[in-house]
Amino acid sequence: MTLEEFAAQYTGLNLRWETVGLIITLAGIASTEIRVPHPACKTEEERQLLRTNLVHLTNKCVGFCDSLDTLNDITMIFIYESFLLASIFYGDQSMEMRNSSRQLNSIDSALFADGLHETVKEKEYLPFFLTQLRQQIFARIYGSDISFAVFLGRPPRVSKRFCYTSMPLDIEEDIYSLVGESLDQELAHLDRNGWNTLGQIRKSAVIRWTMITSMIREDALEALLGRNLTNVPQRIGELQAKIDHAWKDLPPFLTIPTRDLWLKGRSCHEVDTLHQIRLLYLNTTFLIEWAASRHGLQDTGALFVNASELLSWVIEALVRREQLSEIGLISLAWRVASCALPAAGAIAWYLLQPSSRVGFNLDSSSRRRSIENLSVLVAHMGILHDPGDGNYQLFCHAKSALQSAMDTILSPPDPAQPENSLDMLSSAALSPDWIFSDYLGLGVDSWIGLPDRGSFMRMDDNMPY
């Protein structure tokens, strides 16, 4: 079977509901990037009506497919994309999103029901494109599941311990249509690990790297949320070694120095790919450092340094977003929500504490740079979402919390107030309104936010986290 023959089974005279639903869903995702006035909608009311109708039609198609009780590759893609649309439309912390997150449950269940987590026993009999397509589907679902588990501070639904994690190859999508000698010639440009040897920066690199880092983040999440853990220092050390080893194993053209990323002449696609790859590395390292600090295993200064690097890297994308013109504000907003806000919460916590509390002295240049980065983040948060967007309220709460933190940080200290009276800032900085997980409406099961007094230096198995 060729790729064209495969497509013909779902289009034309064989048009199916999952195909219709997928087209509507992709249109819905595209509509979230529209900013009025626009040829498709001239007013904000028209924009909201368009988005609402597309989401409604997507849900209808999901219902049709559920009633037919069939499962195929296009259905898997459709359900996955419909989940992404629901996440964008409803937001990542709303009650509606909690209800629509059943779609994530559905796609995870479908993954297992379709056997995508198992070794493909008949792999040698399947066409090349279909094997790669299914590996791509698994990689995207697994990566999204881990990302949302980390974001919400909850156990993952899909675990690598019960999956055969076969990695999709670092190839362009147009290779899927090749067969025979033409395909063999293209595959000859891959190394033994599946990376291309031509030095080409491809979108497939992000999918592969997401899967690699997701497997490490799953272990880091266990270190954060697990109970009755043993050999915690060894676990943390192994995680740090894993991410460092994985980063060094990447082809050199994917780990170029940060100063070289923004060189003129590099395509927007290449810039965005390289930015995402380093972002995943920094975010994974931050999560590991957070777990280490929670268990009191590391010098707390390491978390501050990593949080600063992570926040700075997101801000680079915000400030230079014209060089990422192929992506929209929604993609940038997710990078802020999943990476910048946790990092900003950790940095704000450090800046609010006396040096005797954090265990290291913060030099004036680092403090100034941190305040500048927090200020830039706050300034950009207002442009990422319009009032009708799903995560608008989340960003409003986060912006308000950061502004309040900045006001306190920039206020001159009262010389008449002894340092020990500021210890832990329990009456202000660490009240519930200052704990980001609560303040953002994410609930106490989210690890995102400022460290709490009971767990920053030592993990307590009796904690409700």
Last residue in a domain, options 147, 168, 189? 168
CA distances, 459 to each of 20, 226, 455 (Å): 49, 10, 5
Nearest to 24 by CA among 82, 105, 69, 93: 82
pLDDT of residue 394: 85
Average pLDDT over residues 343-348: 93
Question: Is residue 321 pLDDT above 50, yes or no?
Answer: yes
Per-residue model confidence as pLDDT tens digits over 192-213: 999 999 999 999 999 999 999 9
Per-residue model confidence as pLDDT tens digits over 3-14: 999 999 999 999
Q: Are residues 149 and 252 in the same domain?
A: no
**Could you tell me if residue 389 is inside a domain?**
yes
| Tokens (6 digits) for 252 | 């050199």
**Could you tell me if residue 145 is inside a domain?**
yes
Q: Are residues 115 and 226 in the same domain?
A: no
Percent of the chain with pLDDT over 70: 82
Q: Are residues 163 and 214 in the same domain?
A: no
Encoded amino acid at 333, one letter: A
| Tokens (6 digits) for 198 | 């031509």
pLDDT of residue 37: 84
Per-residue model confidence as pLDDT tens digits over 398-413: 899 999 999 998 886 6
Q: Note whether 107 and 79 are within 8 A (CB).
A: yes
Q: Are residues 439 and 340 in the same domain?
A: yes
Q: What is the CA angle 370-376-377, rounded to 5?
A: 90
Neighbours of 428 (CB within 10 A): 14
Per-residue model confidence as pLDDT tens digits over 9-40: 999 999 999 999 999 999 999 988 887 788 88
Nearest to 298 by CA among 308, 286, 283, 280: 286
Q: Are residues 219 and 305 in the same domain?
A: yes
Q: Note whether 160 and 218 are within 8 A (CB).
A: yes
**Could you tell me if residue 188 is inside a domain?**
no
Average pLDDT over residues 154-183: 91
pLDDT of residue 218: 96
pLDDT of residue 387: 78
pLDDT of residue 313: 96
* Strand (E) or helix (H) holding 97: helix 95-100
pLDDT of residue 36: 79
| Averaged pLDDT of the chain | 83
Per-residue model confidence as pLDDT tens digits over 265-280: 889 999 999 999 999 9
Q: What is the CA angle 400-325-392, rounded to 5?
A: 25
Question: Is residue 420 pLDDT above 70, yes or no?
Answer: no
DSSP letters, 276-302, are: HHHHHHHHHHHHHHHHHHHTT-S-HHH
Least confident of 104-108, 223-227, 404-408: 104-108
Q: Are residues 217 and 102 in the same domain?
A: no
Greater confidence (81 vs 226) lies with 81
Question: Is residue 288 pLDDT above 90, yes or no?
Answer: yes
Decide: helix, strand or coil at residue 456. Answer: coil
pLDDT of residue 96: 52
| Tokens (6 digits) for 216 | 């490490």
The CB-side HSE value for 348 (13 A sphere, CA atoms) comes to 31
Q: Are residues 161 and 277 in the same domain?
A: no
**Could you tell me if residue 338 is inside a domain?**
yes
Q: Are residues 231 and 331 in the same domain?
A: yes
**Could you tell me if residue 144 is inside a domain?**
yes
Q: Are residues 159 and 264 in the same domain?
A: no
**Could you tell me if residue 175 is inside a domain?**
no
CA distances, 390 to each of 2, 173, 318, 333 (Å): 40, 32, 20, 11
The CB-side HSE value for 114 (13 A sphere, CA atoms) comes to 21
If 0-12 CB within 10 Å is exposed, 13-18 middle and 19+ buried, where does residue 393 land?
middle
Decide: helix, strand or coil at residue 352. Answer: helix
Q: Are residues 27 and 110 in the same domain?
A: yes
Question: Is residue 95 pLDDT above 70, yes or no?
Answer: no
Per-residue model confidence as pLDDT tens digits over 61-81: 999 998 988 899 999 999 999
Question: Is residue 290 pLDDT above 80, yes or no?
Answer: yes
Q: Are residues 220 and 338 in the same domain?
A: yes
Last residue in a domain, options 151, 168, 185? 168
Residue 127, domain extent: 1-168
Average pLDDT over residues 169-174: 94
Tell me the β-bridge partners of 196.
190
Decide: helix, strand or coil at residue 94. Answer: coil
Decide: helix, strand or coil at residue 196. Answer: strand
Question: Is residue 296 pLDDT above 90, yes or no?
Answer: no
**Could you tell me if residue 180 is inside a domain?**
no
pLDDT band at 254 (very low <50, low <70, confident <90, very high): very high
**Could you tell me if residue 178 is inside a domain?**
no
Q: Note whether 371 and 406 are within 8 A (CB).
A: yes
Q: How many domains does the chain have?
A: 2
Give the span between the Cα atoms of 182 and 190, in whole angstroms. 14
Question: Is residue 132 pLDDT above 50, yes or no?
Answer: yes
Greater confidence (453 vs 180) lies with 180
Percent of the chain with pLDDT over 90: 51
Q: Are residues 158 and 221 in the same domain?
A: no
Per-residue model confidence as pLDDT tens digits over 428-439: 333 333 333 433
